[in-house]
A and B are shown apart, each in its own frame.
Chain A
Amino acid sequence: MLLIHCPYCEMERPEIEFRYAGEAHLARPDNPDDATWAEFLYLRTNPRGMHAERWRHIHGCGRYFNCLRDTVSDRIAETYKAGEARPTTLSGKGAA
């Protein structure tokens, strides 16, 4: 069971208090054509390495937030509040 730092509670909390909510920073497109909309609905980056993803502290403060997790090591590099930009200090694979 992972420990995840909730940026709103400002502490590490056990994984079972959280729920995963898919890839982060997907903007709902405005007036999209069919292809753009289909991509928004169904296509994800699914990277090997650092992945920006959404989690919700559903059994805690209830907040959605974002998280950078390495999909290879399963290690979480950073969590940050919804609406904040993806940290640029960490990217690519292997960073932990």
Chain B
Amino acid sequence: MSDRMLASRRGVLDGLFLPKGEEFSLTPAPDAARFTLRGSPQAARAFGPAPPQVLRATSKGERLALWLGPDEILLIAPGEDAGAVQTELEHKLAGEPHALVDVSHRQIGLVLEGRLAARCLSAGCPLDLRLSAFPVGMATRTIFLKAEIVLFRQEDQRFHVEVWRSFAPYLIGHLGEALIGATGL
């Protein structure tokens, strides 16, 4: 292999302007190994976090498990190698009917922080994002205007958003517009 070129990574956010304000920041989440795990929610245990309840996320260390549907969990392992995680999990889940599919590059993670984070999200997301309705630890797939996203509230004023890569510029563009649109709010 030494005479061969080793391909390099180029993320979809390269060269993209990320909106920032005093009360809102949008930063890329670190590269991560990501999987959709289908079948028994109990299979999440093999990954580490406890099986998440309906519309909730669980974590163990850096690893996250997000409930997306009755038999669908999104696994996120920041900084880890997808191949290694897949090997590890397939080994543990051998014999148990399931589907583990690598989606590490299908989508990207974004972190929205600040007092206006929920407000900016509300420019495109019709869900009630008040803490009483969307508490810390809640995760769900939903919609932001014409882009589907996964929304996970990590703290009162901190959201983790997953979006398919080709929709990312659209989402980010609208969040930037929303931040300006929220001037004075």
Q: When the two chains form their complex, are residues B127 and A62 in contact, meaning their CB atoms are under 8 A apart?
A: no
A60 and B140 CA atoms in complex are apart in Å by 7
Closest CB of chain A to B60's CB: distance in Å?
23
**Residues A12-70 near B (CB distance < 8 A):** 13-14, 16-17, 59-63
Say whether A8 faces chain B, with CB atoms less than 8 Å apart: yes
From A1, A14, A17, A63, give the contact of B69 (CB < 8 A).
A63
Known A-B contacts A1-B126, A9-B54, A16-B126; the reply to A62 vs B72 at CB < 8 A is yes
Residues of A within 8 A of B140 (CB): 9, 60-61
Known A-B contacts A14-B127, A16-B126; the reply to A61 vs B69 at CB < 8 A is yes
From A10, A13, A63, give the contact of B127 (CB < 8 A).
A13
Closest CB of chain A to B138's CB: distance in Å?
10
Main secondary structure of the interface of A (DSSP, over half): loop
Residues of A within 8 A of B55 (CB): 9-11
Closest CB of chain B to A9's CB: distance in Å?
6
Q: When the two chains form their complex, are residues A61 and B72 in contact, meaning their CB atoms are under 8 A apart?
A: yes
**Residues B49-91 near A (CB distance < 8 A):** 54-55, 68-70, 72
Closest CB of chain A to B67's CB: distance in Å?
8
From A8, A16, A62, A63, give the contact of B143 (CB < 8 A).
A16
Residues of B within 8 A of A8 (CB): 54, 69-70
Residues of A within 8 A of B69 (CB): 8, 60-63
From B68, B70, B143, give the contact of A17 (CB < 8 A).
B143
A14 and B143 CA atoms in complex are apart in Å by 10
A61 and B148 CA atoms in complex are apart in Å by 12
Partner-A contacts on B (CB < 8 A): 54-55, 68-70, 72, 126-127, 140-143, 148
